[in-house]
Amino acid sequence: MSAVTIQQMADRVAQLLEERLGLGGKGLAAKLKRAGRLLPRKVRDAGRLLAGAAQKAQNPKLLGQIDMGEVTEAYDVCLKHLIAIDPVSRRRDLFAGIVGSVGFGVLVLAVAIFGFLAWRGYF
């Protein structure tokens, strides 16, 4: 394989990170840094390996140091995980979590106010 295919792999993973997780940044390394704990360790490590290989592939002398088996395996790990993510479902779950948290807070506040009023003898 050549430097072009490694760069294409890195670009595809960066594109999926942007589409599925909404991560911005210039290049795969920046997007992986922004992803943080949104990705499992195995996927983060595979992404870093792919980003490093894409960086090395820019230099023809370093191209021979790249293990294409590892790069292909890392690409497959990243692709398998990122394709399984549904961005609509992810947003819906996030919204439901926020609504649930706010609702629980309002419920606790109402119980506290009711308890205070009962304690003061208004009920």
Do 21 and 84 form a contact (C-beta atoms < 8 A)?
A: no
pLDDT surpasses 60 at 1: no
- Whole-angstrom distance, CA of residue 4 vs CA of residue 24: 23
Tens of pLDDT along 29-83? 999 999 888 899 999 999 999 999 999 988 888 888 888 899 999 999 999 999 9
Mean pLDDT over 113-119 rounds to: 95
- Whole-angstrom distance, CA of residue 96 vs CA of residue 54: 38
Residue 119, pLDDT score: 94
Amino acid at 109: L
